[in-house]
Amino acid sequence: MNNKFSVGGTLTACTWLVLMMAPLLADDWSVSQLAQYLTYGILAMSLSFIWGQAGILCFGQAIFFGMGAYLMALTTLGKFTWFGGSQTVGLLLALIGPAIAAHILGRLLFVGRGLSGAFFAIVTLCAAMIVEIVAQHTSFVGGFDGLLGVPALTASWRAGAEMLSTNETYYVVFGSALLIYLVALMIQRSPLGVVLAAIRNNEERTGFFGYRTTEYKVLAFTISGAMAGFAGALFTTQFGFVSPAIIGTALSTEILIWVAVGGRGVLMAAFLGVVLVRSGESFLSSSLGPYWLLTLGVLFILTVVVMPEGVFGRILKLPLPRAWRMAGNCKEISRRGLEKLGQYKLSSWR
């Protein structure tokens, strides 16, 4: 088993190395396309973080992605005049704004209504539909047409603040994706991650240890919202526009497919699920014409049934932290982790 885990770590490191070297081997168009995949990969990891680690299935992840995109666009287009069109401020707002929105929504649903499982998924799906309709009828954010002409990332450290080249943009996105991956992985493998895994396995039992499980779920949801919002900011700088379509149910469903196909339990698997599905969409649409979407749906169903851990979930699974490696199965890990690492608790939550 340890060999399998070490293989997962090696493959993960090799994947990041290949992504780092990609601009040296590909043309500008391919590099630009891959940068878009990396952006969607951050979005996929945001869902994998709460679904795979805490067992929270959210059908409204596009809400936070779209909110981050809109905040970035509004800031850089000068709609928020007091920020002077700063891209740095736009990125910060895209990180903080969706995190606050996720925190509020999480409190309303987890604490206020005590929703979980399918009920939570349905409510977030409805929330995505509502937010999309509101965006379509709000003139300040462009209504149905959205906001066009969003400036690309610029090199503020150079004279004249020139736009970043294709390769420079790629490395900004790549660096962001790697940093977010490492932070999310660190959280997963921390005492906080143990609590979230315990909540996923048995929330009621975790509560018996004295943990206020709803507060931990809100925290995880908040972190996930920040990740999705930052991805949205990177998205709008690459595509140059933002519209209500990226904040609604269609994208939320597609995110779910990426993560389920790649592997919800492993961050890197969900990340690569984007590349696999998006590449498959391009190939099938050019090969099968109007039948490509039906074929993709059939392949998705087969993948979920035959490989419940996803295409990459098993092979990219990382070794457990040394302190947990002797604990046995995942539920036992959660139980022992709660007992041994219970000191990691915010005093106000006890």
Is residue 163 classed exposed, middle or buried when 0-12, 13-18 and 19+ CB atoms within 10 A define those classes? Answer: middle
Which H helix or E strand runs over 292? helix 292-306
Per-residue pLDDT, 134: 92
Residue pLDDT tens, the chain, 350 long? 444 447 888 999 999 999 999 999 888 899 999 999 999 999 999 999 999 888 888 888 999 999 999 999 999 998 887 877 788 899 999 999 999 999 999 888 887 666 677 788 888 889 999 999 999 998 888 888 889 989 888 876 665 567 888 899 999 999 999 999 999 999 998 889 888 988 888 888 888 888 888 899 999 999 999 999 999 999 999 999 999 989 888 888 889 989 999 988 899 999 999 999 888 888 877 777 777 778 878 888 888 888 888 889 889 988 877 666 655 555 555 555 555 555 444 444 44
Per-residue pLDDT, 96: 95
Q: Specify the pTM.
A: 0.87
Per-residue pLDDT, 326: 55
The values of phi and psi at residue 149, to 5°, are 75, 25
Alpha helices in 137-266 (DSSP H): 166-188, 191-201, 203-208, 213-239, 249-262
Asked if 8 and 318 count as a contact pair (C-beta separation under 8 A), the reply is yes
DSSP 241: E
Domain ranges of the chain: 2-349
Token pair 């990382």: residue: 318
Per-residue pLDDT, 180: 96
Q: Which fold has domain 2-349?
A: ABC transporter involved in vitamin B12 uptake, BtuC (1.10.3470)
Per-residue pLDDT, 342: 52
Per-residue pLDDT, 83: 77
Buried b (16+ CB within 10 A) or exposed e, 223-257: bbbbbbbbbbbbbbbbeebbbbbbbbbebbebbbb
Is residue 190 classed exposed, middle or buried when 0-12, 13-18 and 19+ CB atoms within 10 A define those classes? Answer: middle
